[in-house]
Amino acid sequence: MAREDRVKPIEDTRVVAFKPLMAPDYLQSLIQINSTEASWTIAQGRRQVSSIIRQKSDRLLVAVGPCSIHDPEAALEYARKLKDVSQRVSGELCIVMRAYLEKPRTSVGWKGLINDPDLNNTFNIHKGLRTSRQPFADIADIGLPVVTEMLDTISPQYFDEPWCRFKNGTDGGVQVAVNAIQAAAGYHHFMGVTKQGLAAIIHTTGNKDAFFILRGGSKGTNFDPQSVAAAKQSLRANGQREVIVIDCSHGNSNKGYRKQPSVAASVADQIRGGDWGIVGVMLESNLHEGRQVLPADGLCGLRNGVSITDGCIGWENTVGVLDNLATAVRDRRWTKRSL
């Protein structure tokens, strides 16, 4: 047998198949964000968030919504309710809807609406991209900004650019996030794709509005005044803006969704007491509280408005938390005027 007949392939040895991927501009042509209301919402939302991060506005940024979107119709129902509250407390809170589409996994599990829109391990990513972009357009039409996170350099091209943010490490440390903020502010060159779907080297000017989120970790919670002060000290030592966003879920609630309101209440007390470095809060919230196990047959049998990933607080509790945060912002203003 000749040597060339015995040589096994040495390229893509674990790849089963390559499938064409639609270009980002094609998806954007199918699902357009072209209404005056949607365009204004996106542009105004970005300006408002930037103003808060730069401390030109004393409102509180609140990112609130489902841990992840698995049912676009339920997400829109939630968005309509959130829009009503957002208008009522607009003087104190800048509310943006949490709308996560991908789930980073360290073990097997549902990877999110983009990867598996039918929730049954069929991984119809073309459908997932369409299914995911549509609620973004619909929520913008409602008049509510959205916040999301992307896990690679390709998927952002299919959606409006999300805000750049950094959480502390899972061990509760903040230095890695501080370093990341500093790095994000500089210009970068990296591999990605163009709107036409062509591989490209992308040059960026950097993001001066990056910030990080205290979300607790394996060493405990870090939403208390001492942890906030330590985080601001780390930012100060590295020449960064001393602004903090606190995640009331994840490590700060010890993975117990029912603890989120008490975490938020502690944060509200710090705001009420005059802490101007806390500029934002994150909450995992849904129409109904808790979480449910994803059935083997996907959507069939799922309860409406209940998370299939992290547990969330329900709508009634969410409104109470938002009202308390709005009151805390008003009290902080009063404290400043009284000095």
pLDDT digits 0-9 by tens, 20-50: 999 999 999 999 988 898 999 999 999 999 9
The pairing of strands 188-193 and 199-204 is antiparallel
Q: What is the distance between the alpha carbons of residues 75 and 136, in angstroms, rounded to a whole number?
A: 10
Supply the pLDDT for residue 335: 81
* pLDDT, mean of residues 219-248: 95
More confident residue, 167 or 246: 246
Q: What is the distance between the alpha carbons of residues 53 and 224, in angstroms, rounded to a whole number?
A: 20
* Backbone torsions φ then ψ of 311, nearest 5 degrees: -65, 145
pLDDT digits 0-9 by tens, 70-82: 999 999 999 999 9
Helix 315-338 / helix 260-272 crossing angle, nearest 10 deg = 10
Name, in order, each residue with C-beta under 8 angstroms of 22's C-beta and a sequence gap of 6 or more: 126, 129, 197
**27 close to 133: Cβ distance less than 8 angstroms:** yes
This prediction's pTM: 0.93
User: 290 pairs with which residues across the strands?
Assistant: 312
Owner of token pair 């676009």: 72
Residue 295: which pLDDT band, with cuts at 50, 70 and 90? Answer: confident
pLDDT digits 0-9 by tens, 306-329: 999 999 999 999 999 999 999 999
Report the mean per-residue pLDDT for the chain.
Answer: 91
Supply the pLDDT for residue 67: 94
Instruction: Name the CATH topology of 20-338.
Output: TIM Barrel (3.20.20)
**266: its two tokens:** 């502690």
